[in-house]
Structure 1
């Protein structure tokens, strides 16, 4: 539920709940204070307010006692008769006092004995009638004089609480006002507490998450588990945290790679420079005292210089590829014909003399790919050079195979060299990685050949991977996407030569 909906429902509840509760309380208070629960009997009593019926019943009892005072005054001296009547009068808000020659013979239990003289004085009702405010509840005293059988003077005092409708209305209004304030206060307080808690708690969690991020602790996830706007904000915080974490980790990785790159460059440049320096010192010290020795040292210097030049060229190429500053001039190329031409070129390469080269898959319908001819040539030459470094058998073989799938043309360069261990396979396309550092240094390997291959293949939108088995050789596969309409079923691999 969104925050907007939650707040809207809380506002509606703040209006509806107090109204409903106020209505129930008003009905209850009206029944209790105003006596607005009407009787359901028949005849003239039906429909009268309860407080009015109470007054009429009390007046009837007072009238009955006045009748006894006139016609049977001696019965007013019977305590049991008066006690029974007084019990009912107490429920109706009335009381009586029976006096004989000024002496109290009976007084209702609800009256304080100390207040009896005030009720029996003629001035008491007038004094009580002057109470303020005029609509406040007061006691009304009426008297009934009669004569007992022994001619003694008797007086009957009727005491009734005069609670008028105006007085009850005032009590009702005050009770309703207090009830309204209590209901509104409780309703708003409870709803505000729950709504604010549902908003403040996730905000506090986001504050803690921001503090953790500020302190550099990016491993603690931000999980609010909500589906509202705050939940979306929490998801944005989590995405930001993940990106910051990945960015810092990548930055640290780049920094480690930079250090490794500097170390590798220093090592690879140091080796030929050391060789050149040793040859120069040998010539200067007179060790090369014959023409044949001087020529030998010069050839060594030339070889080391060529090795340095090749390393610098590969390093420059890789740097431009890594920075995406090397442009690709892509054009439609028939990969079958292109691979066949490359194989013919390799057969004439002096370095490959003594290597048996076989090719498969170059016959058939044209397979068109978008490629940069120069860079694709560099890919194949680097793969062939990498294979030559690992060929130590007398029978050296190199196989170049082309296959087609529905979406890709796959060129495989396989050799029968020493192979690569399973532990080294995940790293052979990393820059400056050498499965056998000593052998590759001896053969002039820079450790950038396969890294350049990966960069160039990915620049064509393709992919590269390798298979190898120690003692049996290595196969490196280059897959390039076919142009639409030139794909087909997978080609069968068969030697063309």
Structure 2
């Protein structure tokens, strides 16, 4: 459940729960103040209504209303009964028990008044009833003017049989109801305040808890990361926004941990690289110094010896220049600062050209080089020709380091699919150990076999790492396959490009 939905539900609950609890409280207080009984009430028309848990109070109110309706019916249908003393006495007594009363006025004179009616203030009160709006007024009961009551009065005009003018006043005492309501309403209001306060506090507690707990969890995780503890995973196990934040935080932790691990690995690789470069540079420098000392001490006392020493100095300088160039090239590739000049390149023609160039290289004079392919026509890819040539030369140079057999062979193979070209350079050298094979494309990595090869030439450990950087910049992939004692095959792919017949646009 999202935080937004949780907040919306909490707002709805803040409205519905108080309403529900208020209704429940009202029912309980009604039972307490007005009593609870299962009774049956018969209406004035004889129809029986069955009420559940009706109080005695409301039963009296209903009975009083029915009796008053009966008196009004008598006034309309048989007004002479209102002049019968026995009928009036019985009706007045019944109304008195129901906390009501009646007054009969005939031709302007009061002919009957219930026993509870205060005779002293009767005429004034009747005048007030006649002038009051909707027949409501203040009634002073017979207990005295200092003790009053609240009532409702209803006036009914009728005519006696002798055409005398009659007026019926039906009086209903509200004191019992007002007495109960005076206690019911304040308690109900106080209950409403308690319910609203309790509901808001409860919902605020749970909603804030559901928000603060994940915040504290994130805070503790951030403090652990600040202290450098990156091995503790953050497990939110939530499906809301905090869960998404937790997943992003956990991904950040994993990436940071990987980044630090990679940084430490780079640092170790750099240290190893410095050691290797120092070793590899020291070897040709030592050779150059030996040749210079030989020339200085006139050990090379013939022209042939001097030329030999000078040739050795040139070779050692070339080795140093090659290692420095590879280091500089890899640094630019690693920093993404080496520009690429992409253009359409015929892969088949390019391999043919490289094959001829390798055959003419003195270093490969003892190596049998061949191009193997079933591709007949041009096969175009968008590539940087110079960088691609560097790839082939680095792979071929790496293969040369591993060749330790009298019959040395190097094959350039080309395969094609609808989407990419596959180039494979295969040799029959000593091969690479299975444990070292996954690491051959790592920066600064060198298998020991290459350092002790028959050629006597070590590498910087960057040749195949440069190959991977260049091929990945072309959108291809590179891999190595090798069998100890059989040989090694370095393969890479190049995405092919197609051209329309009319314009040569790239598709």
When normalised by structure 1's length, the TM-score is 0.69
Pair 1:199 & 2:211 matched:
yes
Conservation of the 8 A alpha-carbon contact between 2:214 and 2:236: yes
Structure 2 partner of 1:357: 369
Structure 2 partner of 1:125: none
**Cα 1:420–1:223 shift into 2, 3 Å:** same
Structure 2 partner of 1:464: 478
Structure 1 partner of 2:410: 398
**Cα 1:260–1:305 shift into 2, 3 Å:** same
Structure 1 partner of 2:228: 216
1: CA distance, partners of 2:31 / 2:400:
108
**Mapping for residues 161-180 of structure 1, pairs under 5 Å:** 164-180=176-192
Structure 1 partner of 2:19: 19
Counterpart secondary structure, 1:442: coil
Structure 2 partner of 1:439: 452
Pair 1:482 & 2:488 matched:
no
Measured against aligned partners, the alpha-carbon deviations of 1:99-148 in whole angstroms (never above 9, x if no partner) come to: xxxxxxxxxxxxxxxxxxxxxxxxxxxxxx99xx999xxxxxxxxxxxxx
Structure 1 partner of 2:108: none
Equivalent of residue 184 in structure 1, options 184, 193, 196: 196
Pair 1:33 & 2:46 matched:
no
1: CA distance, partners of 2:436 / 2:15:
73
Shift of 1:357: 2.1
Equivalent of residue 278 in structure 2, options 266, 284, 308: 266
Structure 1 partner of 2:117: none
Measured against aligned partners, the alpha-carbon deviations of 1:20-65 in whole angstroms (never above 9, x if no partner) come to: 222232233223313486952447899996248799xxxxxxxxxx
Equivalent of residue 232 in structure 1, options 244, 249, 252: 244
2: CA distance, partners of 1:134 / 1:168:
17
Question: Larger relative CO (CA 8 A, sep 6+): 1 or 2?
Answer: 1
Equivalent of residue 305 in structure 1, options 314, 317, 321: 317
2: CA distance, partners of 1:363 / 1:40:
105
Measured against aligned partners, the alpha-carbon deviations of 1:211-241 in whole angstroms (never above 9, x if no partner) come to: 2222222222223222223223323322332
1: CA distance, partners of 2:36 / 2:442:
94
Shift of 1:485: 6.2
**Cα 1:212–1:304 shift into 2, 3 Å:** same
Measured against aligned partners, the alpha-carbon deviations of 1:272-303 in whole angstroms (never above 9, x if no partner) come to: 11222233334444544555444433332222
- Please, which moves more after superposition, 299-308 or 236-245? 236-245
**Cα 1:169–1:445 shift into 2, 3 Å:** closer
2: CA distance, partners of 1:172 / 1:26:
9
- Please, which moves more after superposition, 284-293 or 380-389? 284-293
Counterpart secondary structure, 1:40: strand
1: CA distance, partners of 2:15 / 2:466:
73
**Mapping for residues 303-382 of structure 1, pairs under 5 Å:** 303-361=315-373, 364-382=376-394
Conservation of the 8 A alpha-carbon contact between 2:426 and 2:490: yes
**Cα 1:346–1:230 shift into 2, 3 Å:** closer
Counterpart secondary structure, 1:475: strand
1: CA distance, partners of 2:442 / 2:30:
89
2: CA distance, partners of 1:229 / 1:471:
58
2: CA distance, partners of 1:180 / 1:342:
93
Counterpart secondary structure, 1:422: coil
Structure 2 partner of 1:473: 487
Measured against aligned partners, the alpha-carbon deviations of 1:426-480 in whole angstroms (never above 9, x if no partner) come to: 1222233322254258224333222222222222222221111111111111211
Conservation of the 8 A alpha-carbon contact between 1:337 and 1:362: no
Shift of 1:367: 0.8
Measured against aligned partners, the alpha-carbon deviations of 1:337-389 in whole angstroms (never above 9, x if no partner) come to: 22122222333333322322222116512111112222222222222222222
2: CA distance, partners of 1:398 / 1:53:
114
Measured against aligned partners, the alpha-carbon deviations of 1:62-84 in whole angstroms (never above 9, x if no partner) come to: xxxxxxxxxxxxxxxxxxxxxxx
Conservation of the 8 A alpha-carbon contact between 2:2 and 2:239: yes
Pair 1:448 & 2:454 matched:
no
2: CA distance, partners of 1:52 / 1:365:
107
**Mapping for residues 131-146 of structure 1, pairs under 5 Å:** none
Conservation of the 8 A alpha-carbon contact between 1:34 and 1:165: no
**Mapping for residues 56-205 of structure 1, pairs under 5 Å:** 164-205=176-217
Give the aligned length. Answer: 387
**Cα 1:392–1:236 shift into 2, 3 Å:** closer
2: CA distance, partners of 1:464 / 1:238:
32
**Cα 1:464–1:205 shift into 2, 3 Å:** same
Unaligned runs of at least 5 residues, structure 1: 56-128, 136-162, 487-497
2: CA distance, partners of 1:33 / 1:446:
99
When normalised by structure 2's length, the TM-score is 0.68
Structure 2 partner of 1:8: 8
Conservation of the 8 A alpha-carbon contact between 2:426 and 2:487: yes
**Cα 1:322–1:362 shift into 2, 3 Å:** farther
Structure 2 partner of 1:386: 398
Conservation of the 8 A alpha-carbon contact between 1:31 and 1:37: no
Unaligned runs of at least 5 residues, structure 2: 62-142, 150-174, 501-507
